[in-house]
Amino acid sequence: MRDPKFFISAPFGNYIKHKNAISVTGTWTLNPRGNRLWSILKTLRYDFSEGCWYNALGLPNPGIQIGLNKTLPCEVLSIAEIERDDFQRMNDLIPENQNIELNLSCPNLGKTLPWDGAGIFTKYETKRDWCIAKVSPLTSAPELTFLVDTLGFRQLHFSNTFPTKRGGRSGSILKPYTLELIRLVREQWGAEVEVVAGGGVDDFRAVYEYMNEGADYIAIGSVCFNWFKMRKLLEK
């Protein structure tokens, strides 16, 4: 089996850079939203009984202009729409060679916007290597069809945190949902769509489970809290 290629998911990609991975910064919104450090201290919790992290951050960040200054074109800029037409306005600001990931599924915003506006990033040819749609673990087959066949996305990230009343839950709970989404993509579009798979990746068993199912790339997130485990994954 080929060696895995890694992404370091946002928000960890804001702080962690590694030669064997692509860092995803953000998530950035058009306008500033709250204080990231305060939101982390207030809402980020580890549940020892369940062995997972919960967060209810709600995308605190200083805004897209700061994000552009902090993100290299070879990295990936994660963006989210808070109000309708935000993607249109961000598209006017983001250079056409800047890699992007559209966070379409943050469970902590208190509302969900239609995905129609995301099509502005696939409507025209650009110099980007990456234009990724990051979706919820609960994404349905018709929603995938809309993303791929209607909006034209060819790179999908499975998946965001699992929505609960306590906030987004990360970790192994995501694995069966991510595996099923990979299967749906491979059955419907074969190798036409590239898949970034994540959720519960804290050792190589999880990595190869996703790759055996058809993932092209692996995203790591909460394992970054454990520096030893993260380095073991990235430096094998």
pLDDT tens across 132-150, in order? 999 999 999 999 999 999 9
- Neighbouring C-beta atoms of residue 105, cutoff 10 Å: 23
Q: How many domains does the chain have?
A: 1
Q: Can you name the residues that pair with 198 across neighbouring β-strands?
A: 219
The domain of 95 spans 6-234
What pTM did the predictor assign? 0.93
1 part of a folded domain: no
Residue 154 exposed, middle or buried by CB count within 10 Å (0-12, 13-18, 19+): middle
Check which CATH number belongs to the domain holding 105 and give it.
Answer: 3.20.20.70
Q: Is residue 88 part of a domain?
A: yes
Is 50 inside any structural domain?
Answer: yes
Cα 121 to Cα 15: distance, rounded to the nearest angstrom: 26
Reference 233, options 195, 196, 207; nearest CA is: 207
Separation of alpha carbons 158 and 109, rounded Å: 19
In a domain, 128, yes or no: yes
46 contacts: CB under 8 Å, gap ≥ 6:
52, 53, 54
* Tens-digit pLDDT profile for residues 84-96: 999 999 999 999 9
